[in-house]
Amino acid sequence: MHAKERVILSLDPNIGRAVWVADQVKDLVSSVQLCLLGRASYQGILDLKYKGFKVCVDLRCMAEPDLLKSEYKYLKHLDVDMVAIMVHCGAASMGSLQGLFPKTEIAAVLSIDSITEDEYQFLYQMSSDEIVVRLAQLVKGIGITSLVCSPREFRVLKSHDELLPLSFYVRNVVPANTNNKDDQNVITVEEAITGGAAKLIVGNPVNDADDPRFKMQAIIDEVAAHQEKRKKRVVGRTTRTIDPGLVKRAEAKTP
């Protein structure tokens, strides 16, 4: 996968700013995400589609199936490429969305970072890690295969092979030279790729930059470099595991 295809730019909620930033980076990244916040968002989606972007619409504020249906009549004409909904909206809403958009990628969004570990124990008598895994299992059971998660959630889920074929789309990705890269609420490009994230969602580093194009180019270059490094490690392991010499010797002994 080309680096520009692996990155999703989460745009500023301000439509004017969002479209301006998208203009700066339109040949560097293929996909953008926009939160649906009122009718102005629809014009923003149209503008972004016209510019050639794949558009993910974030419906995280909408929980009721009836509300989703009312928005569908507008969204169906916009030919969006992905629709994202909060896992906490429940199985009914997620299932309803699959029915409304049968040919569109549906992504479920986890968000467990808003309350403390003590509060989770008090409310649910289980750890936040256990809740993350259970919510991911719920998403998998519904048949959704794309899961948007925070760095913290990703670090919990990446080791759970039973969650395959879920693909993890990790948000709050930052470049290596970011001042707050040690913050547990962000994740570096290197850690996301090494951990097996399918897509990297980048927001503030580009949206807040004086030169969004320069910042996005640096991120894309970093993604490409780490993808190549990871590819070489995988090839190296394969080469060491399957020794051609051993294969030839085994064939020679076969009657």
- State both tokens at 57: 């619409």
106-121 burial code (b ≥16 CB/10 A, e <16): bbbbbebbeeeeeebe
pTM: 0.86
Report the C-alpha gap between 143 and 155 in whole angstroms: 22
pLDDT for position 237: 55
Nearest 5°: CA angle at 111, between 110 and 115? 150
- In the chain, the domains with their CATH numbers are 3-227 (3.20.20.70)
Report the C-alpha gap between 32 and 26 in whole angstroms: 10
- Strand segments, DSSP code E, in 103-207 are 105-109, 146-149, 167-170, 173-174, 187-188, 199-202
- Give me the tens of pLDDT residue by residue for the chain, a chain 255 residues long: 899 999 999 999 889 999 999 999 999 999 999 988 777 788 899 999 999 999 999 886 555 666 666 677 777 778 889 999 988 888 888 888 888 888 899 999 998 777 777 887 887 788 888 989 999 999 999 999 999 999 999 999 999 999 989 999 999 999 988 776 567 789 999 999 999 999 999 999 999 999 999 999 999 999 999 999 888 776 665 444 444 444 443 444 444
pLDDT for position 61: 59
